[in-house]
Amino acid sequence: MTVILGFVVTMACLLGGFMAMGGHVDVLWQPWEYVIIGGSAIGIFVIANPVKTIKDAGKATLEAMKDKGPKQRDYLDVLGVLYGLMRELRGKSRNEAEAHIDEPENSPIFQAFPKVLANTELTAFICDYCRLIIMGNARPHEIEALMEEEINTALHDRLKAQSAMQNMADGLPALGIVAAVLGVIKAMGALDQSPELLGKLIGAALVGTFAGIFMSYGMVGPVAAKIKVVREKQLRVFVVTKQTLLAFMNGALPQIALEHGRKTISSYERPSIDDVEQQTLGDGAPAPAE
């Protein structure tokens, strides 16, 4: 919602300031200039990116609009799953522990936290490394390197949409100049007309430059930046999982291992120690949403 609010404030100040200076808003309405700029930008975007990235860019834009990053409740759910699994790994037989990670959809631990289970990528990440812990022949530093490599690969994939959007934003000012040049060419063909008509044609051409720059720095660029913020936040739950499981592998008790993971959460969303204790000591049952 902050993205929509930002657009509203931007447009209100832009148009309001222009009108306060004595400008006429109808002069800015040059639909074919916007067609030239926007259509060319979309066409170039399609040329430059594979189909998967194009589709993901649409998904990433919606995520940015809705601010789909994890909240405190999501982190508590992840910590709850990890605590339940670590207790199983520590106190139960190998077969009993494996039952939770081989079929997480049937595991009471995962079923208690449906949002974690719905995140198939995160669930697979947790199960894969719990399975390596059960096998018992992997060294913690090797697991850490593998986790970091997987997280970095996932981040690279998730930021392809942001990079594509940013590249489009970088090209919009140049496309605005192209539209303006085309408008000037049209105006040059009307030099024999009245100064009033010629002035309107030149003004319409200059709208292209304005539109290209504004669409770049006032619309597409900020959305690309928000996509990066949201996508990086979405991977924070993987970092929490990594630090928690590594601490457990190095001999920390489950409750202490959770603290290693909790400390990697941004202070804006980080749950308190009391919140985590309530989550884990309550047999992993999710607390009521705020």
The confidence score (pLDDT) of residue 287 equals 44
Q: What is the pLDDT of residues 2-25, one digit of tens each?
A: 888 898 999 999 889 989 988 888
- As a whole-number percent, the residues of the chain with pLDDT over 70 amount to 96
Residue 19 counted as domain residue: no
Q: What is the mean pLDDT of residues 256-266?
A: 93
The confidence score (pLDDT) of residue 23 equals 82
Q: Using DSSP, how many helices (H) and how many strands (E) does the chain show?
A: 15, 0
The confidence score (pLDDT) of residue 194 equals 80
Residue 22 counted as domain residue: no
From the list 34, 42, 47, the residue with the least C-alpha distance to 58 is 42
Residue 218 counted as domain residue: yes
Work out how many domains the chain is built from and give that number.
Answer: 1
Residue 203 counted as domain residue: yes
Stated as kind and residue range, the H or E segment containing 137 is: none
Q: What is the pLDDT of residues 242-255, one digit of tens each?
A: 999 999 999 999 99
Angle at 134 between CA 129 and CA 138, to 5 degrees: 70
Residue 270 counted as domain residue: yes
Q: What is the pLDDT of residues 121-138, one digit of tens each?
A: 999 999 999 998 888 777
What the block records as the tokens of 162 is 């942001």
d(C-alpha 85, C-alpha 217), whole Å: 47
The confidence score (pLDDT) of residue 121 equals 94
Q: What is the DSSP letter of 104?
A: G
Residue 21 counted as domain residue: no
What the block records as the tokens of 150 is 């997987």
Residue 24 counted as domain residue: no
**Do residues 232 and 42 touch, judged by C-beta distance below 8 A?**
no
The confidence score (pLDDT) of residue 188 equals 83
Res 97 pLDDT > 90:
no
From the list 163, 162, 108, 133, the residue with the least C-alpha distance to 252 is 133
d(C-alpha 180, C-alpha 107), whole Å: 62
Q: What is the pLDDT of residues 165-209, one digit of tens each?
A: 999 999 999 999 999 999 888 888 877 788 778 888 888 888 999
Average pLDDT, the chain: 89
Q: What is the mean pLDDT of residues 149-154?
A: 95
Res 290 pLDDT > 70:
no
CA dihedral 49, 55, 57, 61 (to 10 degrees): 160
Which residues neighbour 48 within 8 Å (Cβ) at sequence distance 6 or greater?
164, 167
Q: What is the mean pLDDT of residues 22-42?
A: 90
pLDDT band at 78 (very low <50, low <70, confident <90, very high): very high
Res 220 pLDDT > 80:
yes
What the block records as the tokens of 191 is 């030099």
Q: What is the pTM of this model?
A: 0.85
- Tell me the residue range of the domain where 147 lies: 29-290
Residue 219 counted as domain residue: yes
d(C-alpha 175, C-alpha 115), whole Å: 43
Q: Determine the distance from the C-alpha atom of residue 98 to the mean position of all C-alpha atoms in its chain, rounded to a whole number.
A: 33
For the chain, report the end-to-end CA distance as a whole number of angstroms. 19
The confidence score (pLDDT) of residue 282 equals 62
Select the more confidently predicted residue: 149 or 289.
149
